[in-house]
Amino acid sequence: MDANKGKGDQGMQNPGGQLDRPVTFNFLESMLPKVVKRRVHALKRLQVQCANIEAKFYEEVHELERKYAALYQPLFDKRRDIVTGTVEPTDEECEWHSDREEEEELAVSTTLDIFLIETFQKFKLLYVIVYIALLTVQEEVKEKAAIEDAKKEEAKPEEDPKGIPEFWLTIFKRVDMLSDMLQEHDEPILKHLRDIQVKFSEPGQPMSFTLEFHFEPNGYFNNAVLTKVYKMKSEPDASDPFSFEGPEIIDCEGCQIDWHKGKDVTVKTIKKKQKHKGRGTVRTVTKQVPNDSFFNFFNPVKASPDGELDEDSEFTLATDFEIGHFFRERIVPRAVLYFTGEALEDDESFEEEELEEGDEEEQDEEGDEDDDDGDFDPKA
């Protein structure tokens, strides 16, 4: 169902909106009697006023998001500390029942309780003993379950991992939009990714948000944080006020990665043999050429102010905006659900709902909202 696709977009309705929609001359309108036409024009002027009010609304929503970002942050910090192994959660903090476990226990205890009541009614005098006996049974059942769990453990390789190993890398691998960018040589680097954070622009500043990729010290680059800034615009376009659908990403900016010598995965060095025309001597020259890598994400194609971009660059840029939006709205707020895959199930089920609406195309297994973007390379 269509409105489902709005999920999580309260802050930015239209990230790709910088691809303008033309306002074409309207036939019906031109056929109206002049007196009616001028009234329609009056309504259009009112509509422009509505668009300006709407812009103010989205600015306030942005403020709300900044306010709530502060409320989420302590939870996200806790998440980072658990992921990196800085903090070991208490047993209470880890209490969680998968549906299955729940059912099992529920089954056990309810049958026991019913039995208990009946027993209680039948031989009131014995009920204490019976009660204790039955509690013991219940305990035994639980112990048995525990032992089985333990057995499962033994099956696995004995290890004592720190935090949640490869937490973010696993997410990159599971989410199609990200795995499209991911190259094998990126994976060892992303194992050092400790956290991804979203920072909103300060009030009064031009509207924007920044993705911060926090890395632990690693052998690849010196930056502790890689940043990608997405600049937004929240005013109706004077030339086309009716296309306004809320803040839209209009530009983005990466950052300089301070690679260790020979570790830059965004370029590859190719050797070329050159033969000297005259002497016929052969020398080898090395040349650096661009290389596919997620880290090209931090060196995006520049949006030109006059919107003069070739189709490829425009599509690449739109895809980049999509990805930035997806990090902000989905990955960062609910990372664990992309790690476990639960969020992917959600996204799939949306596609299924789309299918219900007569869409014929086939869906792939781990589809997320933004499938089919194809391989992503900001330099393409």
Site residues for its own copies, 290-349, by CB under 8 A, read 315, 318, 321-322, 325-326, 329, 333-337, 339-343, 345-346, 349
168-187 footprint of its own copies as x/- string (CB under 8 A): --------------------
262-281 footprint of its own copies as x/- string (CB under 8 A): --------------------
368: CB partners within 8 A, 6+ apart: 175, 176, 177, 326, 330, 343, 344, 347
Identified binder of its own copies from the candidate list 124, 156, 271, 275, rule CB under 8 A: 156
Name the packing angle between helices 99-122 and 127-155 (round to 10°): 160
Give the whole-angstrom CA distance, residue 363 versus residue 372: 10
Give the whole-angstrom CA distance, residue 177 versus residue 2: 21
Give the whole-angstrom CA distance, residue 88 versus residue 75: 15
Give the binding range for its own copies (CB under 8 A) out of 70-78, 206-214, 250-258, 285-293: 70-78
Give the whole-angstrom CA distance, residue 114 versus residue 40: 71
Identified binder of its own copies from the candidate list 118, 308, 310, 361, rule CB under 8 A: 361
Give me 344's structure tokens: 């992917």
| 372 binding its own copies? (CB under 8 A) | yes
Please, are residues 131 and 121 in contact by the beta-carbon 8 Å criterion?
Answer: no
Give me 13's structure tokens: 């309705």
Please, are residues 303 and 324 in contact by the beta-carbon 8 Å criterion?
Answer: no
| 242 binding its own copies? (CB under 8 A) | yes
Helix (H/G/I), strand (E/B), else coil: 214:
strand
Helices (H), the chain: 27-31, 34-84, 91-94, 99-122, 127-155, 167-174, 176-179, 187-190, 311-326, 335-340, 342-356
Helices (H), 156-218: 167-174, 176-179, 187-190
Identified binder of its own copies from the candidate list 66, 72, 231, 237, rule CB under 8 A: 72
Minimal CA–CA distance to 296: which of 319, 262, 314?
319
Minimum Å gap between C-beta 44 and its own copies is 6
Give the whole-angstrom CA distance, residue 337 versus residue 335: 5
- Choice between 96 and 308, CB closer to its own copies: 96
Minimal CA–CA distance to 169: which of 183, 154, 159, 152?
183
Minimal CA–CA distance to 118: which of 130, 129, 136?
130
Within residues 47-66, the interface with its own copies by CB under 8 A covers: 47, 49-50, 53-54, 56-58, 60-61, 64-65
Minimum Å gap between C-beta 146 and its own copies is 11
Minimal CA–CA distance to 321: which of 2, 12, 7, 3?
12
Minimum Å gap between C-beta 61 and its own copies is 6
Identified binder of its own copies from the candidate list 104, 237, 353, 366, rule CB under 8 A: 353
| 44 binding its own copies? (CB under 8 A) | yes
Give the binding range for its own copies (CB under 8 A) out of 45-53, 107-115, 198-206, 213-221: 45-53
- Choice between 189 and 344, CB closer to its own copies: 344
Minimum Å gap between C-beta 188 and its own copies is 20
- Choice between 39 and 263, CB closer to its own copies: 39
199-238 footprint of its own copies as x/- string (CB under 8 A): ----------------------------------------
| 154 binding its own copies? (CB under 8 A) | no
| 96 binding its own copies? (CB under 8 A) | yes
Give the binding range for its own copies (CB under 8 A) out of 80-88, 202-210, 277-285, 292-300: 80-88
Please, are residues 265 and 295 in contact by the beta-carbon 8 Å criterion?
Answer: yes
Minimum Å gap between C-beta 263 and its own copies is 29
Minimum Å gap between C-beta 225 and its own copies is 22
Identified binder of its own copies from the candidate list 108, 112, 145, 164, rule CB under 8 A: 164
4-33 footprint of its own copies as x/- string (CB under 8 A): xxxxxxxxxxxxxx-x-x-xxxx-xxxx-x
Minimum Å gap between C-beta 193 and its own copies is 16
